[in-house]
Amino acid sequence: MEKIFKLTDDWGELIEHSIIVPFGIGRIGRRVIPALMEQFDIPFLIDNGCHKEKVCGLEVLNLEQAAGYLREKHVKVIVTTVFYSYEKIRKNLETLGFIENKDFCILERFAEEWNLRWRNKCVLSKIDTVITSRCTLKCKHCNMFIGHAPKQFDIELNRLRNNFDIFFESVDYVYEYTLLGGEPFIHKNIAEIVSYLGDRYSEKIGRINIITNGTVVPEDEVLALLEKFHVTVHISDYTCSVDYKKKLERLQKSLLMHNIEYYVIPNNTWKDVVYPRDGYQTDNPKKHMLLCGHSTHSVADGRLYWCDPAFAAECFMGFTAKEDDSFDMATNKKSYSKYEATLNIIKYLLGDVNERGYMKICEKCAGVGSDNDRIVQAGIQIGREE
């Protein structure tokens, strides 16, 4: 068996309408649970917080309330959180005697490994595509380095269409596909981008997302497309540093009028990734990359990137990456069987990125993982003091 595989063989006994239990009802959980409900029977959800509400019509229990049922029924748990939250949940589950990759695993491993080993399908958890480096803000500590980029530009429409086509030639399904920037709503072809992705590939996508800073209200044509394709809008709120509350309120009002699901994400602090400034060094870039905590990967020009900042550094900042830092999906598809090609994709996304085991940018970028304790105020603009 491939070294990258970690799930015990009894995961292969899961079939359609088997019982599973998702753990986590945050942003990731709420976006992927509906897709999981179409495939499996879910008796309830687990979350560490105190919740009286139902989510997707399901009762939410804490871990202590759920533990007896999980043991008695031998139910598999899928943790639907980002990596740094997963680490805490993993410890909680192990304290109660549950075993990682036997009794529970993170969504990314389940989506990718389980679907390949027992269904011969390429299923991914979350993929991003950056569509522009233009932005309405100029944040000093942006981990896409937008404020420091020598030029700001939109990724051309045909380039994006080609990227979508190459990606979905190899991928059967992705739980979440996210468009981001910069500020995606100022891309001159945002309507055509949403329309192309939705018309051609909505059946292969559990949820299309757009991440915005909340400073721009899209035109009616774009709002209609967001409603048509059930796009979820994630609004990063940086009003702790920049006064645009009225703009944010106008955006929320427009989304409500068009029945578009959205979340406002308060951003009061960030981790300072240091790059493009000098001053970060690591003795173990491989471990640093795996600790980073980026729970999503990026695809651009038909190439997979371990994280969005890796693409942004290369495309927007002119960072000189190594050729094997990213993964060529078109060449991979032409050169291997479906199983082997999918295995190569999954190896890359689960951390086996190349022979070195890390990307060159990891030597310069402090990342957002547990080994970075540099906390800064979110949204501070270049030219302003923190």
Question: What are the structure tokens assigned to 294, written together?
Answer: 């980026």
What is the amino acid identity at position 30? R
pLDDT digit string (tens) for 287-298?
A: 999 888 666 799
Quote the DSSP letter at residue 133.
Answer: S
For residue 227, pLDDT beyond 70: yes
For residues 179 and 131, is the Cβ–Cβ distance under 8 A? yes
What's residue 84's pLDDT? 78
What's residue 172's pLDDT? 98
Closest-CA residue to 353 (of 331, 322, 330): 322
What is the amino acid identity at position 95? T
Q: Is residue 199 packed enough to be buried (19+ CB in 10 Å), middle (13-18) or exposed (0-12)?
A: exposed
Quote the CA–CA distance of 110 and 21 in Å, as a whole number: 12
pLDDT digit string (tens) for 121-132?
A: 999 999 999 999
What's residue 114's pLDDT? 97
- Average of pLDDT values for 243-266? 96
What's residue 383's pLDDT? 83
Provide long-range contacts, Cβ within 8 A and 24+ apart, for 353-357: 353/289, 353/306, 353/324, 353/325, 353/327, 354/322, 354/324, 354/325, 355/324, 356/285, 356/286, 357/286, 357/289
What is the pLDDT of the chain when averaged over all its residues? 94
Q: How confident is the model at residue 27 (pLDDT cuts 50, 70, 90)?
A: confident
Whole-angstrom CA distances from 134 to 9, 93, 184, 318, 335 are: 47, 43, 8, 16, 36
Angle at 62 between CA 58 and CA 68, to 5 degrees: 95
- Average of pLDDT values for 343-363? 94
Quote the CA–CA distance of 21 and 345 in Å, as a whole number: 27
What's residue 48's pLDDT? 87
For residues 262 and 234, is the Cβ–Cβ distance under 8 A? yes
Q: Where are the alpha helices (DSSP H) in the chain?
A: 27-39, 63-73, 83-95, 107-109, 115-119, 157-170, 190-201, 220-228, 245-257, 285-291, 308-316, 329-335, 338-349
Provide the terminal-to-terminal Cα distance of the chain, rounded to the nearest Å: 52
pLDDT digit string (tens) for 101-122?
A: 999 999 999 999 999 999 999 9
Quote the CA–CA distance of 354 and 149 in Å, as a whole number: 27
**Strand, helix or coil for residue 298:** strand
Q: How confident is the model at residue 385 (pLDDT cuts 50, 70, 90)?
A: low
Angle at 321 between CA 319 and CA 325, to 5 degrees: 140
| Residue percentage of the chain with pLDDT more than 90 | 89
For residues 180 and 186, is the Cβ–Cβ distance under 8 A? no
What's residue 318's pLDDT? 96
pLDDT digit string (tens) for 124-164?
A: 999 999 999 999 999 999 999 999 999 999 999 999 999 99
Beta bridge partners of 376: 270
* Chain center to CA of 182: 16
Q: How confident is the model at residue 85 (pLDDT cuts 50, 70, 90)?
A: confident
- pLDDT top residue among 265 and 192: 192
**Strand, helix or coil for residue 216:** coil
Answer yes or no: pTM beyond 0.75: yes
- Average of pLDDT values for 56-79? 96
Q: How confident is the model at residue 386 (pLDDT cuts 50, 70, 90)?
A: low
3-state secondary structure 173-186: EEEEEEEECCCHHH
- Average of pLDDT values for 241-258? 97
For residues 131 and 193, is the Cβ–Cβ distance under 8 A? yes
**Strand, helix or coil for residue 349:** helix
What's residue 21's pLDDT? 98
Quote the CA–CA distance of 241 and 384 in Å, as a whole number: 10
